[in-house]
Structure 1
Amino acid sequence: MITLQHRSIAHFDMDSFFVSVECREDNSLKGKPLLVGGLGDRAVVAACSYEARRYGIHSAMPMKTALKLCPHALIRRGDMELYSNLSREITDIIAEKAPLYEKSSIDEFYLDLTGMDKFFGSMKWTIELRQHIIRKMKLPVSFGLASNKMISKVATNEAKPNGQKEIIFGEEKSFLAPMPVEKLPMVGKETAGQLRRRGVETVKTLSEIPVALLEAWLGKNGISLWNKANGIDESPVVPYHEQKSISTESTFPTDTIDMKFMHAELVRMTEKIAFELRQQDKLAGCVTVKLRYSDFETVTRQMTIPYTGSDHILLEKVKELFHKLYDKRLLVRLIGVRFSHLVQGNYQISLFDDTQEMIALYQAIDHIKNRFGWQYLMKGTNAIPPAKQPKAEVTPFPRKTK
């Protein structure tokens, strides 16, 4: 018999975060089909309101397609800087109240409230925190409370929009049983299709299939699916202050004042760790540049930025910081770049300016880098052939933020 550890985990999700922020800024948008994203026909939908979803619109859909489905939809350009700042405000509220929390994306949080029932009551405490966030931020938020992260996330999805739901310990399987298999986290169309072709449509049916058979069908993913279908998830809430940073440094063979060379190094390092960032499905909220002169004086400067994982945005910030730092016009022996304040999230959500072609370009670039190596595809104007690159001291990913 499998014994579930009796924990108390809350999952908070800011409902349709980008859309909700736009409605907060302009009350006239409430209750209307609203699209957040680029304004051109070749742009994509970054987020959409519940009213727009009724027309079959979803995020990452071409804006042109969305407008065919709902010609009277309203479009807002989107403000990633505003969304990022509000996300940080919400994080501060949760950090002040919660004993242990994990920021899993720009608008999602897990809170470990295990043991709180002895003193206050987990559900009562969580309700009060939700109400506090709503009052202070003027934004809707839903939560699910359960014995593990997976169940709490599914419960949150069932509570939306702007609701709350508790799954009592021991009732995890009965809660999941009638749901279609797509309701389980990480079960996409392809996996659901494979299961349905074998007659598996509900979580209850999935939970009753021998785990060995699921493994034969789906490989290691089959074991994970069996655990989910049976309400099992032992993954811990990872404290947000332990979120990792990613960085790299380059020590030059000869101290230099060559601006063209240093710019090339900035491009090379930024593209390298931005690629690693996207490989981890993360977004960065802070950029730091380090400079060491020939006299060994070391200076650093950092900048909080809207969450992103895009080369062109990160490189712009890196170059801006470098030019603010490099004010002595002395020989330089080392340059370092670091991305921190990392959160989970697909980099596409920050591409409000970009078209379908830009998104496809990033996907193609990452595919090539995955196949041949990150160093074989860089910006041509600044790239240095791999054989001529100086030896670099590379800080491996991940590394704890100090």
Structure 2
Amino acid sequence: MQTERQIIHMDQDAFFVSVETRKDPSLAGKPVIIGGTSDRGVVASCSYEARKYGIHSAMSSRMARMLCPHAMFIRGNMDEYSKASHEITDILRQHVPLIEKASIDEHYIDMTGMDRFHHTQLYAHELRKKVIKETGLPISFGLSVNKTVSKMCTNECKPNGELNVRQPEVRNFLDPLSIKKIPGLGEKTFMKLSDMGVRKIRTLSQMHPDQMNTVLGKNGLVLLQKAKGIDISPVIPYHEQKSIGTQSTFKTDTIDVASIHTLLTAMVTGIAYELRQKRKLAACITVTVRYSNFEDVTKQAVIPYTSLDSVLIHKAKELFNQVYQKRMLIRLVGVRLSNLVSGFEQIDLYSDSREQYSLYQAMDKIRSRFGEQAISLASTMNINL
């Protein structure tokens, strides 16, 4: 008999707002909005009190202010949120056998087989209390047989909640829920299924696979499996999170720092786009220089979680300037982003410029449709190294 999987999904409650409230307790219980503070800004996160007014992430600050004029706007500090995220991850890693950091504020934990030693729900409860006690940040968890159902459990019991759904209860838990509750089901898919009369998970689970494949392709078959409570995806160990990077060897060795800065800009722009396509954020950047004598020198820096070109370009140039000290001819430069987690803040939601937000989205759409070389920054057009 196959052992029933025991997957815990732990998710911070309104994480960015919680970090701000830890710093300023007077914010507790108030409608708080994190993001750009001008009318051209964008909402990055908001408190549950603000959500009651219909406010949500990626909404314009102007619209949010119209919906809730008395809301408290805070620009936000990604550096503080990243540090708080690392705090939580460090606590969890010390007490569980297998953990995946799914995003800046959520983790999956695989406790399969460990119920022989620990009652999993009680253990998760004690672990949740430990995180709250040591960090002062609220957290909720869902426990079930796979990642999809455990995440949906968490979403249903937030904020400040716990929910355990065992295998015999999975279908009874899922069936009455809206299909909107399924992780990964976007607005366009929701509208398409709604037009077909499919609004509840029960209805979706009864669809024929051929019909789902015709309407939505492979994604339709994945959604059908999720609607039935089936998800075999593993919990991926946090330390195995991959990095992405690129390097360039020059035609001739050079000391042209200005041209190397231009090349770094182009390199970072490319891997930042790749990062966003994979819906990832990076917390570490590394720059490598290879001198003409084949000596490699590397410099890295921990950064707030980001996938934004401008932040990464600035840091890459800064690291290059720190590492290039010998004034010797350079043969190669490389840039690598690591400590990757899944993330939805694909553009700088703290920027007061909604035009910049729209520009990055537009550039990404052009690259996705016509290729990465279809559009680039003007400053990188004449690289000749």
Q: Answer whether contact 1:9 1:148 (CA < 8 A) is retained.
A: yes
Match in the other structure for 1:270: 268
1:333 aligns with 331
Q: Is the 8 A contact 1:33 1:50 kept in 2?
A: yes
Q: Does structure 2 conserve the Cα–Cα contact (< 8 Å) formed by 1:181 and 1:192?
A: yes
Matching residue of 1:183: 181
Tell whether 2:166 aligns with 1:158: no
Q: Which residue of 1 aligns with 2:67?
A: 69
Give ranges in structure 1 of 5+ residues lacking alignment. Answer: 391-402
2:81 maps to: 83
- Name the CA distance, whole Å, in 2 between partners of 1:355 and 1:309: 17
Whether the 8 Å CA contact 1:369–1:375 is kept in 2: the answer is yes
Following the alignment from structure 1 to structure 2, what is the Cα–Cα distance between the partners of residues 368 and 184? 29
- Counterpart CA distance in 2 for 1:304 and 1:55 is 37
- Asked if the contact 1:243–1:341 (Cα under 8 Å) also holds between the matched residues in 2, the reply is yes
| 2:124 aligns with one of 123, 126, 132 | 126
Aligned residue number for residue 47 of structure 1: 45
Are 1:43 and 1:356, in contact at CA under 8 Å, matched by a contact in 2? yes
Distance 1:85 1:346 in 2: 18
CA drift of 1:373 comes to: 2.7
1:379 aligns to 2:377 (yes or no): yes
Distance of aligned partners of 1:153 and 1:102 in 2 relative to their CA distance in 1, 3 Å threshold: same
Identify the match of residue 103 of structure 1 among 94, 101, 104.
Answer: 101
Q: Which amino acid aligns with 2:87?
A: E
Q: What is the distance in 2 between the residues matched to 1:234 and 1:357?
A: 41
The residue that corresponds to 1:303 in the other structure is 301
Task: State the aligned residue count.
Answer: 385
Aligned mates of 2:216, 2:139 — CA distance in 1: 35
CA contact (8 A) 2:347 2:361 kept: no
Greater alpha carbon shift after TM alignment, 77-86 vs 170-179: 170-179
Q: Percent identity?
A: 51
TM-score with structure 2 length normalisation?
0.97
Contact 1:4–1:232 under 8 Å retained in 2: no
Q: Give how far 1:350 is off.
A: 4.3
Counterpart residue identity of residue 44, structure 1: V
Corresponding position of 1:244 = 242
| Structure 2: stretches of 5+ with no match in the other structure | none
Note closer, same or farther for the CA distance 1:224–1:313 as it changes in structure 2 (3 Å cut): same
Q: Output the aligned Cα RMSD.
A: 1.5
Partner of 2:167, secondary structure, is coil
In the alignment, which of 193, 196, 200 is matched to residue 194 of structure 2? 196
1:117 maps to which of 115, 118, 121: 115
Deviation larger for 186-195 or 315-324: 186-195
Q: 1:224 aligns with which of 222, 236, 240?
A: 222
Displacement after TM superposition at 1:132 (Å): 0.3
**Partner letter of residue 35 of structure 1?**
I
User: Does the 8 Å CA contact 2:44/2:345 hold for their aligned counterparts?
Assistant: no
CA distance in 2, matches of 1:368, 1:156: 36
What is the distance in 1 between the residues matched to 2:24 and 2:209? 51
Pairing partner for 2:20 from 19, 22, 25: 22
- Report the CA distance between 1:51 and its aligned residue: 0.6
For the residue of structure 1 that corresponds to 2:312, the secondary structure is: helix
Deviation at 1:349, TM superposition (A): 6.3
SS of equivalent residue, structure 1 residue 135: helix
Structure 2 residue matching 1:171: 3-state secondary structure: helix
Matched residue type, 2:377: K
Q: Name the TM-score, length of structure 1 as normaliser.
A: 0.93
Flag the 1:128–1:349 CA change in 2: closer, same or farther, 3 A.
Answer: farther
Aligned counterpart, 1:399: none
Structure 1 residues 222-279: Cα deviation after superposition (integer angstroms, max 9, x where no partner): 2112111110000000111110101111111211011122112111111111111111
Q: What pairs with 1:198-217 in structure 2 (closer than 5 Å)? A: 198-217=196-215
Q: What residue identity is the alignment partner of 2:228?
A: N
The 8 Å contact of residues 10 and 107 in structure 2, kept in 1 or not, is answered as: yes
CA contact (8 A) 2:283 2:337 kept: yes
Aligned residue number for residue 286 of structure 2? 288
Q: Counterpart of 1:245 in structure 2: which amino acid? A: S
The alignment status of 1:7 with 2:1, answered yes or no, reads: no
Q: Which runs of 4+ in 1 moved over 6 A?
A: none
The 8 Å contact of residues 98 and 111 in structure 1, kept in 2 or not, is answered as yes
Amino acid at match of 1:260: A
1:189 Cα deviation after fit: 2.6
Contact 1:263 1:382 in 2 (8 A): no
